[in-house]
Amino acid sequence: MNDTGNFVLVAENSETVWESFSNPKDTLLPTQIIGIGGQLCSRNSPKDFSLGQFQFRMLSDGSAVLNTVNLPTREAYDTYYITGTRDSQNKSNSGHQVVYDKSGYLYLLKKSGDVFYISSPKDVVAFPASEYYHKATLNFDGVLTLSCHLKSSSSANATWNQIKAIPNDICVAVHGDLGTGPCGHNSICTLNEDQRPSCKCPIGYSILDPTDEYSGCKPEFLPSCNGASSGDHFELRPLPNTDWPTSDYELFKPYSVEDCKKSCLQDCLSAVVVYNSEEDSCWKKKLPLSNGREVRTLSTTVFFKFSNDSRSGNKPDLPGSNKEEEDHTLVIVISVLLGSSVFVNFLLVSVMCLAFFFYSKRKYFVYPNESHVKSNLRHFTYKELVEATNGFREESGRGSCGVVYKGETDQSSPIAVKILDRMFQDNDKEFQAEVNVIGQTHHKNLVRLTGYCDEQQHRLLVYEFMRNGSLASFLFGGLRPSWYQRVQIAFGIARGLVYLHEECTTQIIHCDIKPQNVLLDDYYNARISDFGLAKLLALNQSHTKTNIRGTKGYVAPDWFRSAPVSVKVDVYSFGVLLLEIICCRRNVLDMNDNEEEKVILTDWAYDCYVDGRLEKLVENDMEVMSDIKMVERFVMVAIWCLQEDPSVRPTMKKVMLMLEGIVQVSAPPTHCLSTSVIN
């Protein structure tokens, strides 16, 4: 490893066999050069190091460009930045190399020796290389950034400071007809002060991947083209200063704004219309919407379609609309009653008014500071949590019955706030169960509940924040975690479940053990989260009856029988999760891209065990291959957990002891393995 940061493999004769500077990924260091055909490739997301959709390339015509790509085939799409150093008249004046020199200047060197600066020298002159480290990185969001880091800084919180961002506005720069910008389809890109983008979903849409705000948005409704007018089921809302420059498929001109809106409502393919009052033009756009952005100088009006079906749960509050409908209904009823006796009418109308009043006001009879929960945990007001989360701006995930947002308390401690937004019939009971019971649990492998809000109609839970995200992102990202880390995570999950099943005052069945519900703390310790689906048992109970709960692929067959379920449903789910930890792959894969025998991991692992070819489960993972005995022990434990008969499955206490090697693992049955229902 040279002082420049170049990692070099050298043969015995001192000849360079391979060097990292000639094989860049997403970052350049001073003295590094990109020649013709060389490129930087962004990562896919903040935590996914697989290849992303952005490239910085040195073309053979002499120009350096930033462009998007097709992820499956890596085909280059339109450029959104170009140096323009191609000279067809005088090829000696065309670009030749991209150079990141030792002073931190990024420029394109022409064949003639002339220099075209990609970053101006004045950008970095205030950060001399004698005092600062420098780097240039093509980020996952498509922004090429030049950054510096003070060499003399001894602070643990010292960070890289951005010097320059290319392009100046990534939200506006990426506007090609193919692909999408940094925010994914149907999303809206907003430029932050640091010239980096943030993304949000419009009304009626939700984020595709709750752990990645840049993954795009999915519609909460599915427009139907069955011949009926979609205007009966959809409404339009204006979005100020917003545009999707592509996705046009029809233009009406001249056209009024009302005709434009009506045309969108009556066309099930139309998701958005853009009306230009100066030209009396109406542009109709279809899904998916690409490269959405907010631009304050826009003079057009955008109307966005969303479902108004109350059964869908996607209709936003429209001030006065419900009241008008109710008032209209009340007038009709009173008119009918006027034909009856005055005294009877008076009684009936009085009763109806009282009933209407109590019905419309029922949820506000809880005083603001009155709580249904008796707990020693901190009671937050709703206003405090709104301020702590900056208006619930940064979504960090989705739990069993609500969305989770990142926030910060007055002590500057990060928190995770879950809003219970799915109104189950027994919602209040579940809320009180989480606060009263889960609030009393204290274990190093459980996410700790620190507070709650029980104010009027608001139900929120406050947890400690886990900086390293979910186990799903950790296992299934671009880089495979070390075998040691995976083993420790498996131990941690097992210990957490033992605590829930056997060591709590009130026994708890989690009911939804899966990688998304295991979080990782600062030291990558496993912390079981999301007890919203937990079924609580009294001390004298061993079974309980409830509706099917959990996630397909992890659900034990016990749920589909008339017999009561027990803690053994968690043992089954842990067996599936243990195989995923061993193999670093999801339980169910797409059959189109994989051999049929490998589609369902539990089946494939069982076949590999029976056939004596466990190395197939961990091929290309040399670290795991060197510890194949432990792999065999873990697979045997998983097969025990996956037995169809719950009475045959071991307890989590025994599972933990078998994993740790304290209890010997006997050969599991070879005929009673059950595969969780996945359809």
Residues annotated catalytic, as ranges: 512
Report residue 115 as tokens: 């220099």
**DSSP state for residue 600 in the 8-state scheme:** B
Please report, for residues 69, 248, 279, the alpha-carbon distance to residue 252 in angstroms, rounded to integers and kept in the order given. Answer: 33, 11, 11
SS3 479: coil
SS3 298: coil
Q: Please give the angle made by the CA atoms of 325, 331 and 335, to the nearest 5 degrees.
A: 150
Report residue 496 as tokens: 């957490």
Residue 553 Cα to chain centre, angstroms: 20
Residue 509 CB neighbour total at 10 angstroms: 25
Best CA proximity match to 600, nearest among 517, 515, 676, 548: 676
- Rounded to a whole number of angstroms, the distance between the first and last alpha carbons of the chain is 51
Half-sphere exposure of 251 (CA within 13 A, CB side): 9
SS3 140: coil
Q: How is 225-269 classified by DSSP, letter by letter?
A: -SSS-GGGTEEEEEETTEE--S-EEEEESS--HHHHHHHHHT-TT
Best CA proximity match to 202, nearest among 192, 216, 212: 216
Q: Please give the angle made by the CA atoms of 233, 237 and 240, to the nearest 5 degrees.
A: 160
CB of 672 closer than 8 Å to CB of 639 = no
**b/e per residue, 402-440, with b = 16+ CB within 10 A?**
bbbbbbebeeeeebbbbbbeeeeeebeebbbbbbbbbbe
Best CA proximity match to 142, nearest among 108, 115, 176: 176
SS3 566: coil
